[in-house]
Amino acid sequence: MAILEGFVFLTVCMGLIFAARQFLLIWRVGLGSDFCDHSQGPRFSTDPAQWPTVAVLVPAHNEERVLAGCLSAMTALDYPAAKLSILVINDRSTDRTAEIADEFAARDARVRVIHRGAARRPGKSAAIVDGMEFSAAEILVLFDADYLPRPRLLEDLVAPFADASVGATMGRVVPCNSDANLLTRLLDLERRAAYAVDQQARALWSLMPQFGGTVGGIRRAALDGVGGWREGHLTEDTDLTLRLALGGWRVAYLNEARCYEEVPEDWASRFRQVRRWAYGHNECLLSYWGGILRSRLGARQKLDAALILLFYLFPACVLLSTLAIIPILAFGSDEGLLGGAWHWIAPLLPLAVLAPYTQVMIAALMDRQTHVVRTLPLLFVSSSLSLLASTAAVGLLVWNRIRGRSLGWDKTRRYRTA
């Protein structure tokens, strides 16, 4: 029983730290956004000839439903034509993806298609590695095949690279199918909090805004300097974020550089998506925990990195603690660790529980769409999904590590057509 109580106590403490962090981030954002206004920082010359070369990479595996719309948007991007190339990486597709991509390549000289053979290693990160070999551009910008960037987005994503310390930029992904059903509305709320509050505040405080692997740019020199893009990693974005931070590079987050994406419309797709993220994230935890602690990062950055690494382990701890607390409360007494700590924990728990909801309210307020808060009380529905998926991922990771295997790539289902 003492072991169970200790585990629950640690989980509660972790929860209080995460909640305190969320409130601190809310407070920082509430102080004002004098930051992501890059008009105050270094600027590229107004002469387009001075702008960096950019390669837009679009990995595509069986994306016939959405690829045409995506490439139409890519070819309409407002960037000096001579400085822009669009690389579609057909990742062993078995539908019309290759045909659609080739049609666009025939129409637009900036578009180039790379067809990966069946023998190549599957997965988005492997596809990106192959695509990078075909480009010598100074800046690489990644988009998923279902994304619809507005014409000015590329300029917005590239502009911060005028600052030599910036290794990557990250825009804001906005669900375009939020109105589809309850799940998409809840995921929209989660996205708002994650971008409008979490990412923004971390950028304001020079912490570690996360590079998300899409709607983001990478400086080729920075990427090469930290070991390049790694194949076989389920969350190559988290992996790269940590390597860039350890390499002394900054990730610039741009809340106004927005791009539409699709979120899962059914629980099974969402479950697989979160399980993939949690699996990869926890692999990063195992790989980088020691490196982060031993690094020369500042204390705030180390703490932020630690919390990022624990982000997808915490839900598993919450679920296991929920199960553990039942026998503790049922068969235990007030003499244990939890009984003793109850008096100082209890008043903090309500605020800790409300922290994520508060973050969503603030995000909705900043987006000037407070009507979305009507669905907020039901956030526990999507949180339960994430809880189960994260726990499944932890279990799967432990099991696979014992057996010496890895989790395969799982493609997220698309809903939009063209």
In the region spanning residues 311 to 370, those forming contacts with another protein, defined by CB under 8 A, are 322-323, 325-327, 329-331, 342, 346-347, 349-351, 353-354, 357-358, 361-362, 364-370
Residues 20-39: x where in contact with another protein by CB under 8 A, - otherwise, as a string = ----------xxxxx-xx--
Pick out residues in 4-23 that bind another protein (CB under 8 A): none
**Applying CB under 8 A, what is the total number of residues that bind another protein?**
74
Minimum CB separation from another protein for residue 74, in Å? 16
Residue whose CB is less far from another protein, 300 or 374: 374
- The answer to whether 377 contacts another protein (rule: CB under 8 A) is yes
Which is closer to another protein, CB of 371 or CB of 403?
A: 371
Angle (nearest 5°) at CA 403 between 402 and 408: 110
Q: Which is nearer to another protein, 188 or 237 (CB)?
A: 188
- Secondary structure element (H or E) that encloses residue 58, with its range: strand 54-60
d(CA 143, CA 318): 34
Chosen residue from 206, 384, 401, 405 binding another protein by CB under 8 A: 384
Report in angstroms how near the CB of residue 84 gets to another protein at its nearest: 18
Q: Give, as ranges, the residues between 231 and 270 that touch another protein (CB under 8 A).
A: 255-256, 258-260, 266-267
Q: Please identify, using beta-carbon distances, which residue of 286 and 326 lies nearer to another protein.
A: 326
Site for another protein contains 387 (CB under 8 A): yes
Cβ contacts of 139 within 8 Å, gap of 6 or more: 52, 53, 54, 55, 158, 161, 217, 218, 219, 220
Question: Residues 232, 126: contact at Cβ < 8 Å?
Answer: yes
CB 341 within 8 A of CB 9: yes
Binding to another protein by residue 276, rule CB under 8 A? no
> Residues 98, 115: contact at Cβ < 8 Å?
yes
Cβ of residue 374: shortest distance to another protein, in angstroms? 4
Q: Shortest CA distance to 80 belongs to which of 38, 43, 46?
A: 46
CA distance 365 to 201: 15
Backbone angles phi, psi at 97, to 5 degrees: -55, -45
Give the per-residue contact string, 119-158, with another protein (x = CB under 8 A; - = no). Answer: -------------------------------xxx------
CA distance from start to end of the chain: 57
In the bound state with another protein, the residue whose beta carbon lies nearer, of 244 and 352, is 352
Site string for another protein, 155-184 (x = CB under 8 A): -------------------xxxxxx-xxxx
Alpha-carbon distance 230 to 129, whole Å? 7
Distance CA 48, CA 229 (A): 28
